[in-house]
Amino acid sequence: MANGVVTRLLSTAETLEFEPHVRAVKVLRVEATGIIDYGGVSRVLARKAAENGASLLLNARVESIRVDRSGVSVAHAGGSVRAGLLINCAGLHADRVATLAGVTPEVRVVPFRGEYYELVPARRDLVRGLIYPVPDPALPFLGLHLTRMIDGTVHGGPNAVLALSREGYDWRTINLRDSIEAISYPGFLRMARSNIGTGVGEVARSFSQRLFARSLARLVPEIGRDDIVRAGASRSARRCPRR
C-alpha cells in the first residue's frame, strides 16, 4: 500500500474462485501483477535504443577502466570505449567492476543460487496465476512461490543456497576465488550466523525433491513429490554490507 500497489483482501471462498487449489487463511490479491516475456522486452528496448542513436556492444567484457579528468576509458574484450560518464550496472559482478574503476565498494556481492522445479504437464492446472507466500521480513529471501509462465508451464521455487561460484548453476561448479571471498567476508558470516537454521533447511531442500514438494504443498496441498520435475537454476546476488 505504501508503494501505491492496489491490493484486495480475499476470504477463503473468494480465493477459490481465482485459485481453486490454493490453501490460505487469507489472501492479498494484487490485480496489477503480471508476467512478461522479458527476453522480448529486452529485444524491443535494444531496437528502440538503436533507433535513437545508441550503439550496443555485446559480448564485450570490461577488463580495465581508467578514469581521468575529462572522462573514462573502458577497455573490453574487443577494443575500448571513451566516455564522459560510466554507469556500472554489471549485476552479480558490479562490485568487481567498481573495483576496476578504483572504487572501494561498501558492499560485496555474495552469490546465491535459486533452484526451480516445474509441475509435470498433467498437474499444471493446479495453478492458474502467480501464488506467493507472505514473505518473512526477517529473511533476505522471498520464499518459494508458484509462477505460471507465459508459455503455460508452471515453475515452483526458488530455494536459495550459497553458490560456490558467481556463475554456478549447480553444486558441481566451484570457483575457489568466488567461494573463499564469499565465506570469508564478515558481512556474509554475520548473515549466515543469524540464519543458520534457514540455511540448513535450504540446502536439505536442494537435495530432496520430497522436501521441495512439501514446501510447495504449503501453498497448494495437492502438489506431491511426483508432480514436479527439476527445471533450471538461476543466480541472484545478496548485497552484504560489511558491518
Interface pick for ligand FAD out of 93, 108, 205, 238 (rule CB under 6 A): 93
> CA torsion, points 195, 184, 177, 192, in degrees to nearest 10?
0
**Nearest 5°: phi and psi at 29?**
-95, 130
Q: Which residue is at the shortest CB distance from ligand FAD?
A: 91
CA–CA gap between residue 195 and residue 182 (Å, rounded): 16
Residue 86: partners with Cβ closer than 8 Å, 6 or more residues away: 65, 67, 72, 74, 101
| Residue 64 binds to ligand FAD (criterion: CB under 6 A) | no
CA–CA gap between residue 186 and residue 57 (Å, rounded): 36
| Residue 97 binds to ligand FAD (criterion: CB under 6 A) | yes
| Residue 86 binds to ligand FAD (criterion: CB under 6 A) | no
Comparing CB distances to ligand FAD, the nearer of 45 and 189 is 45
3-class SS at 142? coil
With contacts defined by CB under 6 A, name the span among 1-9, 79-87, 89-97, 168-176 that binds ligand FAD.
89-97
Comparing CB distances to ligand FAD, the nearer of 38 and 69 is 38
State the angle between helix axes of 186-194 and 176-183 in degrees (0 to 180), rounded to the nearest 10: 70
3-class SS at 27? strand
∠59-65-71 over CA atoms, to 5°? 115
**Residues paired with 80 in a beta bridge:** 75
| Residue 109 binds to ligand FAD (criterion: CB under 6 A) | no
Interface mask toward ligand FAD for 113-152; x: CB under 6 A:
-x--------------------------------------
With contacts defined by CB under 6 A, name the span among 16-24, 85-93, 184-192, 216-224 that binds ligand FAD.
85-93
| Residue 91 binds to ligand FAD (criterion: CB under 6 A) | yes
3-class SS at 171? coil
Q: Give which of 234, 210, 229, 209 is closest to 154, Cα–Cα.
A: 229
Interface pick for ligand FAD out of 22, 62, 126, 144 (rule CB under 6 A): 62
Comparing CB distances to ligand FAD, the nearer of 57 and 204 is 57
> What residues from 206 to 235 belong to the interface with ligand FAD (CB under 6 A)?
234
Comparing CB distances to ligand FAD, the nearer of 153 and 234 is 234
| Residue 61 binds to ligand FAD (criterion: CB under 6 A) | yes
Interface ranges with ligand FAD (CB under 6 A): 61-62, 89-93, 97, 114, 234, 236
